[in-house]
Every structure is written in C-alpha cells, then in structure tokens.
A = this chain, B = another copy of it.
C-alpha cells in the first residue's frame, strides 16, 4: 500500500482540516498516511474524529455541510512527531535551514527516506518548495523545479506551468517546464499528445516579451522534431477555451494568471449575490437560482483540484492551497495518488536527458 506523508501543521486551518482531509483521502483512495506534526495536536484531532465517527464538509459547494463517515480503524496511519512549524510569513531559506524539526521538513524526509511515496503540504508554498528541493533533490538534468497547476475550463482542464516557483526565468528553463508539463498532462489528464502553448500577449509568432520570443524557437524546434505538439502563443483570454492542454509561462506571469482568475471569479460571484439581493423579487429568484450557481461554483472551484504538483524534484510533492478545507486537502492527496506508480519522474528524466 502506497503511503503519503502529510504536513499536518501546514495550512490556515491546520491541523483540523488537514488531518480530516488526509483521513478522508486515505479511506477514498486506499492509501496509508504518515501524519507529521505535533503529536498532541494530531492526536486531539484523531480523538475527536474517533468519537464522532465523521467529519463535516460542504464538498466544495460553499453551502450545506454533510457528514463524511470516517472509520479510523480501517485506515493505515502513523504519527511522526516533530516540534516545530514554519509559519506563512517566515523567510523561506532561513526557516528551512534552522527548523530541521519542522513538520514540512520532516514530512519531506519521510519521502527521502523511502517510507512514503509522496508528500502533501498546505503550508507556506515557499517553504514546501524549498524543503522539497533540499530534501529530495532535483531530477538529473533539471535546472529548476516548477509548479504545475490544473485549471478548470469550459471543457477540459488545462495544465499551467510554472504557477509561481520561479519569478525570473530563462528560455531554457521554460523549455524544461514545457517538457515536464507535457509529461504531467499525459499522466494526470490522460491526454496522449497534449497541445502545448506558451502564455503571451498577441497570437502570432514574434508577439510577446523577450523571454517568450526567445523561448518560442526552442519549442518550435522540439515540435518539428516530433517531441511536442506546439500550438504557439496562448493569450490570457485563450487560457480557458482549450487552445492548449499545457500552457508554459514564467512563474511570475503564471501566478498572475492563477490569482487574477481567482479574483475575477470571486468578484463576479459576489456581484451576482449582491444583484439578487437588490430587491425582494431578486431575493426569491436568487434562492431559486442558487442550486444552479452552486453547480458552477463546484465546476470552477480550485478545491476540486486541491493541489499543485512541484515537478522536477526527485519525488512527488504536492502543494495545497493555504486555505485548504478538508475537501481541498482530500483532493490534494488525490492529486498525489493520481501520479503514484506512474513513474512520472523517470519519464521526465528520460525526456530531459534525451
């Protein structure tokens, strides 16, 4: 049975939603857990769940919560105690070096030591990245690991890489991100020959900033060699219309895509709420419309995808949203399970070094 190391102390609602979501995932996907963090805190959560026999979750609808039965006796989990926690605001490099007994460092170590197949953390993204990079090392040939994010769109999901690991990139780095993103999309989305695009402004070749213009010929060459199915530039508004299955970007631009998408969706849904509340009839129609709007919320909810994969490290490392609910955490573990036993890293290594 595969085993996942969980940074039980990382996340805005840790350890509660983290432990809940991990147990839920263990039960749903049939994996074992190594819960890493303050033993006392973790045991309190376990005790609570053992007593009630369930956890509560809205399952990504932001609405009515329902009970998810958790049978602790059927779940294979261990607890690894560690005393420290790295907070959201801490300087990454320093804290990783100093806090050797922090939950994220120890959780990564469980993978490095071979006790677990993957690590999942909803703590500081920077700390999770750094801990994974130092603890697991890079895949041979990879210059910089990058974050792969799965985004919902109208039809099928899209993989965006880099979601924010590298703010400043070279064309060679982007070309490697593309290799990793394509391999990931093959495995996680099940697409045989994913369409690869590069995030840019303007559709035609030659449009974009220097980085894009210098990366374009590298991707085009690999396309001509049959390595990529390169479809060229993808504009911001084309991200959601499945022009490409994999979109490569530097971590600055990629993170802006993620955050602007989140911000726009959140603004729109608030506006819809406020418009319906503007008069009495609106309130009634709003109530009637609620189930339909809730379904949309579920379709676009980041919680459904749960976690971003840090690609390029020697191991599987999933970074979950800081605000992860138990549902988001369950799905973040699911994102790790999806690539388990699929040898993604040896496939990446093979592509990079050939």
| Chain A contacts to B: CB under 8 angstroms | 89, 153-154, 164, 167-168, 199, 201, 204, 208-210, 212, 235-241, 250-253, 255-272, 275-276, 278, 282, 285-286, 288-289, 292-293, 295-296, 299-300
Q: Contact check: which of B212, B239, B262, B275 meets A295 at CB < 8 Å?
A: B275
Bound-state CA distance A299–B267 (Å) is 11
* 21 sample A-B contacts, Cβ–Cβ < 8 Å, listed by A number: A154-B271, A167-B210, A199-B256, A201-B251, A201-B252, A201-B256, A208-B252, A209-B250, A209-B252, A236-B262, A236-B263, A238-B259, A240-B263, A240-B264, A240-B267, A253-B256, A260-B260, A260-B261, A268-B296, A278-B292, A285-B285
Residues of chain B within 8 A (CB-CB) of A272 are: 292-293, 296
Q: How far is the CB of A21 from chain B (nearest CB, A)?
A: 23
- In contact, A237 and B208 (Cβ under 8 angstroms): no
- In contact, A239 and B251 (Cβ under 8 angstroms): no
On whether A210 and B289 interact (CB within 8 A), knowing A263-B236, A268-B296, the answer reads no
Residues of chain B within 8 A (CB-CB) of A210 are: 167-168
Who on chain B is nearest to A262 by CB? Answer: B237
Bound-state CA distance A209–B199 (Å) is 17
Nearest 6 CB-CB pairings of A with B: A236-B259, A237-B263, A167-B209, A236-B260, A264-B264, A201-B255
Who on chain B is nearest to A257 by CB? Answer: B260
Who on chain B is nearest to A295 by CB? Answer: B275
Bound-state CA distance A215–B196 (Å) is 33
Bound-state CA distance A154–B264 (Å) is 10
- In contact, A256 and B257 (Cβ under 8 angstroms): yes
Residues of chain B within 8 A (CB-CB) of A286 are: 289, 292
Extra pairs beyond A240-B264, A285-B288 (20, CB < 8 Å): A153-B267, A167-B201, A209-B252, A212-B252, A235-B259, A236-B255, A236-B259, A236-B262, A237-B263, A238-B259, A238-B263, A239-B263, A240-B263, A240-B266, A241-B267, A256-B257, A260-B264, A272-B296, A275-B293, A282-B292
